[in-house]
Amino acid sequence: MLLSVQCDSFIENGVVRPPITFKRGLNTILGDELASNSIGKSTFLMILDFVFGGDDYVRRSIDIQNHIGPHMIKFTFEFEDGLHYFSRATDDAMNIHVCNESYQSVDVLSKDEYTKFLSMQFKLNLPGLTLRNAISRFFRVYGRETLDPKYPLQSAIKEPMKSSIEGLLKLFNRYKEVKKQKELTEQAVLKEDTFKKAQKYNYLPSVTSKAKYKENEQHILELEKSIERLKTESTKGFIDMETFQAEGASELHYQLKIAKRQYISLTEELNTIEIDQIKRQSFQKDFELLQQFFPEANIKRLEDIEDFHKKLDKLLKNEFKSKATSLQEAIDLVATQIAGLKLQIANICSSPSLPLAILNEYCEKQKKLNALTVANETYLIKENLKQKRVALTEQLNKLILEIIAHTEKDINAVMEALNKLIYDGKRPTHHLTIKDAMRYTFASPNDRGTGSQYKGLIMFDLATLIMTNLPLLVHDSVLLKQIEDRTLEEILKIYMETEKQIFIVLDKQSSFTKATQKILKETAVLNLYPNGGELFGRAWNQK
């Protein structure tokens, strides 16, 4: 737990304040009877957020940084293995100093290293969860974006509900159950996006609609009939011998097409490393899919090309200069292959026993047939990838909903129990309703008053504190002042009974019930008041 906070800029009547010490349960920052503003109540809560790795104290409290200047916050945690001393400066907020008991620096941690350390100590090192993601939602301080009683899961105004719901599942250690399914879904999305990018950059032919696919199918049938008719109408010698040669020439044309694509691809790789990643990934996947659709194809030939690319991929892991050299060698190899294929085609076409006109017509139609066939195959592949992505997304959402349903039920049950402690079952309870992985609501249908809304937010926080490893709650007076006195008294009693830490701000204590006044006096860790008793010993909101 957090044991103490101190700063040389914390002043009371001209004297540096002693360390502000804390305990388990309720810790109250108490204002004066006049509810004076600008004395540092909410500011101190922002400093607590700063102690736990937050940045809002520096980023949002601009007036303090301007009037006080750079200052060092020193703080102590007590964990199972003993006391840990740290300091963090406002002008070097990305680094946290590990200190001895005199707060002399003995080591420096990055903010990420520091928050990971706290995560381990508070047992918040759960799948997908970070310290800030866990606790920032529960620092409900004026000036932060966590005060909306309709959206208790929100850590920032712009945070999507999906992220808020995921954050809740992570905190309840139920995210691990969806992590694997989410990874499979993300892989399916990546494969589909990669395939689309390959089509966008013309590395694969593109058929954009089912209508175009059917149109291509009709053209394929017509071409197949035309090729068969060409064979039938040709001389017997062509059918017996030249057809084989013509088909050989057509196959060579197809290989030449592939080689030219390789040449273009390799040239692009040499110029653009980013496009290289897209090409290599999609190219490897294409051969796997090709085997599915063409079991009788010349796979050996394709495997040789694939092997060539694997060797090339290994070379590409070297420095840029080595990459460029290796790619140029590959380009030269493919260029040699292209020249060889062109020579073989020229030899066949120059054969005196082969009718050149028929061969050219045959090759042209076969070329169109191959192009349309490949285009339609890529359409089927794209549709298959889309169907897999949709199916996996639906499975993920279904799994999340099942886990959400249990989490929602557990939270609502604890809030119901807390509500009975406060109202003896005579008032309605807020309910968290998570409709799906993207949306949730939080409300009490029969009680929409301002005080009730903030009371519901507090009940949610307390339920989460009880059910998870969340180490603390921070509630500013803006939440508590809206709640009726009798209800506030019962809430404070619950605060006091918790074994974890709760930090609140309140003032005008004499306006509350005597029991509430007693609790506030017993739990006060810092008293702030105007004319010398401000957190920094002075105010700058007056002329």
Three-state SS sequence of 109-162: EEHHHHHHHHHHHCCCCCCCCCHHHHHHHHEECCCCCCCCCCCCCCCCCCCCHH
Residue 386 lies inside a defined structural domain of this protein = yes
Q: Is residue 127 assigned to a domain? A: no
Q: Provide the pLDDT for residue 311.
A: 64
Neighbouring CB atoms inside 10 A of 376's CB total 21
What residues have CB less than 8 Å from 52, skipping those under 6 apart? 2, 115, 118, 131, 132, 135, 139, 472
pLDDT at residue number 274: 42
Provide φ and ψ at 453, rounded to 5°.
-65, -45
What pairs with residue 504 in β-bridges?
28, 475
Going by DSSP bridges, is the β-strand pair 25-30/524-527 parallel, antiparallel, or unpaired? Answer: parallel
For 7, residues 6+ apart whose C-beta sits below 8 A from its C-beta are 17, 47, 71, 72, 73, 74
Domain shared by 270 and 380, yes or no: yes
Q: Distance (Å, rounded) from C-alpha 118 to C-alpha 52?
A: 8
165 burial (CB, 10 Å; 0-12 / 13-18 / 19+) is buried
Helices 356-423 and 210-233 pack at an angle, to 10 degrees, of 160
Q: In terms of domains, do 116 and 194 share one?
A: no
Q: Which residues contact 182 (CB under 8 A, 6 or more apart)?
A: 396
Q: Do 250 and 382 share a domain, yes or no?
A: yes
DSSP string, 16-80: EPPPEE--SEEEEEE--TT--SSSSHHHHHHHHHHHTT--HHHHH-HHHHHHH-S-EEEEEEEET
Q: How far apart are CA 391 and CA 406, in angstroms?
A: 23
CA triple 490-495-497, angle to 5 deg:
100
183-186: long-range pairs with CB below 8 Å, 24+: 184/392, 184/396, 185/389, 185/392, 185/393, 185/395, 185/396
Pair of tokens at residue 372: 């349309």
Half-sphere exposure of 105 (CA within 13 A, CB side): 11
Residue 178: exposed, middle, or buried by beta-carbon count in 10 A (0-12, 13-18, 19+)?
buried
For residue 154, being part of any structural domain is answered with no
| CA 367/CA 372 separation, integer angstroms | 9
246 with 379, same domain? yes
Answer with the one of 396, 423, 442 that is the final residue of a domain: 396
Same domain, 388 and 503: no
CA distance 327 to 319: 12
382 and 491 share a domain?
A: no
Bridge partner list, 12: 15
Beta bridge partners of 434: 440
As a 3-state breakdown, the chain gives helix, strand, coil percent values, each rounded to 5, of 60, 15, 25
Degrees to nearest 5, angle at CA 216 with 215 and 217: 90
**Whether 370 and 505 share a structural domain:** no
| Any domain includes 499 | yes
Is 117 in the same domain as 198?
no
Task: Sort strands 501-506 and 524-527 into parallel, antiparallel or unpaired.
Answer: unpaired
Task: Give me the count of residues in the chain.
Answer: 543
Q: Which of 120, 57, 112, 136 is nearest to 90 (CA)?
A: 57
**Residue 176 within a domain:** no
CATH of the domain at 39: 3.40.50.300
Shared domain check, 370 and 238: yes
Domain boundary among 396, 419, 434: 396
Residue 30 forms part of a structural domain: yes
End-to-end alpha-carbon separation of the chain, Å? 41
- Let me know whether 202 and 103 are in one domain: no
Q: Are residues 388 and 274 in the same domain?
A: yes
Spatial contact of 276 and 268, defined as CB atoms under 8 Å apart: yes
The verdict on residue 247 lying in a domain is yes
Whether residues 81 and 194 fall in one domain = no
Residue 29 forms part of a structural domain: yes
Nearest to 74 by CA among 7, 20, 1: 7
Instruction: For residue 294, give its domain range.
Output: 185-396
The tens place of each residue's pLDDT in the chain, 543 residues long, gives: 999 999 999 999 999 999 999 999 999 999 999 888 889 999 999 999 999 999 999 998 888 989 999 999 999 999 999 999 999 999 999 999 999 999 999 999 999 999 999 999 999 999 889 999 999 999 999 888 898 989 999 988 888 998 999 899 999 998 887 777 777 888 888 888 877 776 676 666 667 777 877 887 888 888 888 777 776 665 544 444 344 555 666 677 778 878 888 888 877 776 655 444 444 444 444 555 555 655 665 656 656 666 666 665 655 555 556 676 777 778 888 888 888 887 877 776 554 444 556 667 777 777 777 777 877 777 787 788 888 888 888 888 788 788 888 899 999 999 999 999 988 767 888 899 988 778 899 988 776 678 889 999 999 999 999 999 999 999 999 999 989 999 999 999 999 999 999 999 999 999 999 999 999 999 999 999 999 999 999 987 765
- Quick one: three-class SS letters along 458-480? HHHHHHHHHHCCCCEEEECHHHH
Boundary residue ending a domain (396, 426, 450):
396
* Domain count within the chain: 2
CA atoms within a 13 Å half-sphere pointing along the CA-CB vector of 36: 20
Contacts of 506 (CB under 8 A, 6+ apart): 28, 29, 30, 31, 477, 480, 481, 520
Tell me the two tokens of residue 177: 């159950």
C-beta separation of 27 from 523 below 8 A: yes
